[in-house]
Structure formats: C-alpha cells, structure tokens
Amino acid sequence: MFGMMLEKIKDFVVYDADREFYAKVFPDSVGRKDLMRLRKMRSSDLPGVLAIERANYQFPWGEDIFKDCFKANYSCWVCEESDNILGYCILAMAVGEAHVLNICVAPAEQGQGIGRKMMENLIEMSRGRAETLFLEVRPSNAVAIALYEDMGFNEIGIRKGYYPAKNGREDAIMLALEIF
C-alpha cells in the first residue's frame, strides 16, 4: 500500500527532498542540477512553456497542441528551479513503447545538463512500462543528436518530410533506445 502511494507521489515530483536539506546545511555539497525539480506540467505553466517553445523552434507548437497532450494524458513535465521553468518534456506512453514528443530547455539554460537530466528521467519513467523509447530529431540538430547518441539512442530510420521547414519539409531521423 505504502509502496503504491510512493509510486504515485513519484509520478508527480521527481526530486529528492533530502538534497534541499543538505544544500542548506552544506551549501557546497549539492550542485544546482541536483536541486532542480521535475514536476508534472500544469495548464498554468503554459505561458512559460510557450515562451521557451517559441524561443527555440522556428515552427513552435501552439497552446492547443500542449492542451491536446494534457487531454491525451501524455506525461508532461517541467523542470523548475525556485518556481522558474527551465525546460519541459513530453512523453507518450503506449503498449510496450514510449515516445518523446518534445524536450526543450530555455536558451539561456542550455548546455548545463538540464536536457540530459530530463532525458534520464524520461528513461527512468519508461523503465518497466516500455521496452523501447523512440524520438524524432531534425538532422540539422547536432546538439540534440549528440545528447541522444551519448545516452545510447541508435538511428533506426528516416521519416521523410516529417518536419515543416522554410522551403517545404525536412526529414526526421528516428532514434530508439532499448530499455532494460
């Protein structure tokens, strides 16, 4: 019973509260990354999320798409630090497989390990529920590809004309990670 409750709580907050205590007592012992928390995205987060989305993508998702993700019960998360949203990620779970639909970090916060931390959490969430984690990425997105490959994703194919682009459409590289 307690185990079930704990699992439920972990679904909402991916965070070790002890770290906050240690950070206060031994400020040098806990890094910034350890104090960021991942929690479920709420509709009140959407203005902040949309600002990050628009700052990052040439063809950003509109509010309606995020709302559809809530409706579809996708796993929608924000990474925050003192009420400030640094990034977000969205995972769709189906039978045996999970799909990363969006992962995005505020431009000023990129390159500090936040994307990696969110992806580690998505992998952890998928463990036991899915055997494979899929995602699509633009071939031009070298930073994201470097992160995914470093985390063990492998290229499994190309989706022709998957993304809108300035001059028509751009292909997507499909990547997959086997989860053990």
Selected range binding ligand COA among 19-27, 72-80, 102-110, 123-131, rule: CB under 6 A: 102-110
If one counts every other C-beta atom within 10 angstroms of the C-beta of residue 48, the result is 18
Q: How far is the CB of 174 from ligand COA (least distance, A)?
A: 11
Binders of ligand COA: how many residues, by CB under 6 A?
A: 18
Under the criterion CB under 6 A, does residue 91 sit at the interface with ligand COA? no
Known catalytic residue: 163? no
Least CB distance from residue 97 to ligand COA, whole Å?
17
The reply on whether position 68 binds ligand COA by CB under 6 A is no
Q: Which is nearer to ligand COA, 30 or 175 (CB)?
A: 175
| Segment near ligand COA (CB under 6 A); pick from 58-66, 101-109, 121-129, 162-170 | 101-109
Cα–Cα distance for residue pair 78/85, rounded to 1 Å: 7
Which residue in the set 16, 150, 155, 178 belongs to the binding site for ligand COA (CB under 6 A)? 150
Contact 91, 99 (CB under 8 A): yes
Under rule CB under 6 A, residue 177 binds ligand COA = no
Min dist CB 103 to ligand COA, Å, is 5
Which residues on neighbouring strands pair with residue 102, listed in sequence order?
90
Q: Which residues are catalytic?
A: 136, 148
Which residues bind to ligand COA, rule: CB under 6 A? 56, 103-105, 110-116, 137, 141, 143-144, 146-147, 150
